[in-house]
Amino acid sequence: MKVTKLYAAYADQSILEDINFELKSHLSILGANGSGKSTLAKALCGLLEYEGSIRLNGQELREIPAIERAKSIAYIPAKMQSYELFTTVEDFVLLGRYPYKQSFKDYSQDDKELVQTILNELNIAHLKQQALHQLSSGEQQLTLIAQALAQESKILIFDEPTANLDPKNTALFVKELQKLRQNHTTILITHDIQLASFFNDAVLFIQDKQAHYYKHDFFKTQTLKEAYGIDFTSSNGLIGVAYD
Amino acid sequence: MIKNVLWLSLITVALLSPFVGTAHLEYRDLLETGSLSQRIFLELRLPRVLLAFFVGGILALCGLLFQTLFRNALMTPFTLGVSGGAVLGAGVAIKLGLGLLLGISAVSLFGFLGALLTVILLITLSRYLKRAEQESLLLLGIALSFFYTSALMVIFYLSSFTETTTIMRFTMGSLSIVGFESVILLSVIAVSLLIVLYTKRFELQILAISDEQAALKGINTQRLTYFFLITASLAIGILVSLTGPIGFIGLIIPHMLRKLYQRAVDKLIFPVFILGGFFLLACDTLARYLSHSSEIPIGVITALIGGPFFIYLIISKQR
């Protein structure tokens, strides 16, 4: 994926200006609250109109049919947001197969088997018949991931995946993410410096509507201080905010 | 348990329904060809029972559809003023004394146009609302309803006594018909609506989660939403032009079934239709049972039940 001269606006307000980067392998997107990380994510998924160019395998994103786009990019929101709370986990994960489903037909047996495999892998097969409202935040997060995996997209965009998780579920999530990184390209949007520095991928830091690309060396107290404008400490390779 | 009691009592009422009414039926004569009792049964009671069933089913389905598309339990064709638009359209056609236009009943055509224009107006106005202001759409619908009522008052003011009475009776909603013509039309609408919703159940399932989810899975959400809204306004427009507005079915029935069965929208299409049908039939049977000389309009009965229910929904902030 290659982004050049990307401009995006939200409700007539310019959010991102002249963003350029190329997604070669895993990427972390960081930036302050309201800096436009989620806007960028939405533009990359084709949910938002943009100016400039986002090229996916040489093809302009806005020209790719929505169904084909869904097969290439999956987006995992920070939180399960659903009006319909009675959808079961199985049905919700099956929706990941929607782009592959034949019109007017039910999901195929293969689709259902794939979903079962994914649920087994994520250790949530026992929740299959549970409704969304019966799940804990951690289980909801895993269900969202399961749906994205069912979509079989090469690129996975995680939008603040650990924001609603307790330490145990965060650890579980990181374990899953490590597995996924082997055969997906992941984009991780996060405020969690510890998490991002653990993976130590290339970083896109968004500030004042612009993006600064760091191929490496972002996770150093001095660089972080320049980026966020506050002090960071580092000990035993762990980086964190230095509280007064 | 509650489910069984509910279904059993509704089915019992439905079976008893054709035997309830102001005219007394001689049961011995029912099988006798050409007897008065048999004619009342076949030409008045039976079509009315079927009409009530289809009307209730369609109203409940359209309610379910609107609630899903707007992701809000208070959004139904009735509360958003779509029925009101249809009533005004039909009222205009009655006032102008229009018979057939292009081979279609003018009252139906105007009813549909009134419903369609309301939907277009709501879509246009909702573009000026932020996502968080979804509730304002409801206020827009209520404002539209007020406007339509006033416009209807103007028509009353300009009309003769007979015209006024006709329109007035119409606005109260009524299921009194003779013969099977309307029944056939409404059964076609009901079946088409069921087919459309059933074949699009997976899309409906995603839309019920969120627009974003649907878009991420490659669905053109805007086009699909418009398609559903136009389909529903077609059904509502024609229905209202035949029976007048019958409120609150679309609000109560889907909500009741969601509570009882706790299933997602794609599993509720047929149950909502059937329960809606039985429920309106029960209301109509009650109306006929209570009537002595003249009939209590069915719209009055459903509003008497639905009004308090609507208030309950608002207070309990059920989505």
B38 touches chain A (CB under 8 A): no
Q: What is the pTM of this model?
A: 0.91
For the segment A41-96, what is each residue's pLDDT rounded down to a tens digit?
999 998 888 999 999 988 999 899 999 999 999 999 988 888 898 999 999 999 99
CA distance B302 to B246: 7
- Among B127, B216, B219, pick the best mutation site for testing chain A contact (most A Cβ within 10 A): B216
Mean pLDDT value across chain B = 87
| Share of residues in chain A with pLDDT > 70 (%) | 100
Average pLDDT over residues A229-240: 84
Classify B42-166+178-316 by CATH class.
mainly alpha
Query: Domain range for residue A29?
Result: 2-241
Torsion of CA B263, B269, B272, B278, to 10 degrees: -140
Q: C-alpha distances in angstroms, B236 versus B56, B90, B270?
A: 11, 12, 18
Nearest to A91 among B199, B205, B218 (CB): B205
Window 266-285 of B: residues touching A by CB (8 A cutoff) are: 266
Q: Where are the beta strands (DSSP E) in A11-100?
A: 13-22, 27-31, 50-56, 59-60, 73-76
The SS3 of residue B87 is: helix
Q: How many domains does chain A have?
A: 1
Check CB contact under 8 Å for A70 and B217.
yes
Asked if A227 contacts A236 with a C-beta cutoff of 8 angstroms, the reply is no
- Among A83, A105, A144, pick the best mutation site for testing chain B contact (most B Cβ within 10 A): A83
Q: Which two tokens stand for residue B206?
A: 């995603």
* Shortest Cα distance, chain B CAs vs residue A129, angstroms: 11
Q: C-alpha distances in angstroms, B268 versus A54, B131, B273, B313?
A: 41, 26, 8, 20
CA distance A76 to A158: 5
Give the model's confidence band at B319: pLDDT under 50 very low, under 70 low, under 90 confident, else very high.
very low
* Shortest Cα distance, chain B CAs vs residue A84, angstroms: 5
pLDDT given at position B133 = 63
- Among B130, B207, B217, B224, pick the best mutation site for testing chain A contact (most A Cβ within 10 A): B217
Q: C-alpha distances in angstroms, B263 versus A200, B3, B191, B200, B247?
A: 44, 14, 22, 17, 24
pLDDT given at position A151 = 94
pLDDT given at position A101 = 93
Check CB contact under 8 Å for A87 and B264.
yes
Residues of A in contact with B71 (CB under 8 A): 83
Q: Nearest-CA neighbor of B241 among B139, B140, B294, B173?
A: B173
Q: Which two tokens stand for residue B138?
A: 């409801």
- Which CATH number do you get for residue A200? 3.40.50.300
State the amino acid at position A141 in one-letter form.
Q
Chains A and B form CB pairs within 8 A to the count of 73
Q: Match 């007035």 to its residue by tokens.
A: B168
| Residue A210 pLDDT exceeds 70 | yes
pLDDT given at position B131 = 60
pLDDT given at position A106 = 92
Check CB contact under 8 Å for A83 and B217.
no
Asked if A14 contacts B179 with a C-beta cutoff of 8 angstroms, the reply is no
For the segment A139-196, what is each residue's pLDDT rounded down to a tens digit?
999 999 999 999 999 999 999 998 888 898 889 889 989 999 999 999 999 999 889 9
Residues of B in contact with A65 (CB under 8 A): 218
pLDDT given at position A166 = 87
Nearest to A47 among B68, B216, B262 (CB): B216
| Residue B132 pLDDT exceeds 60 | no
Average pLDDT over residues B249-274: 91
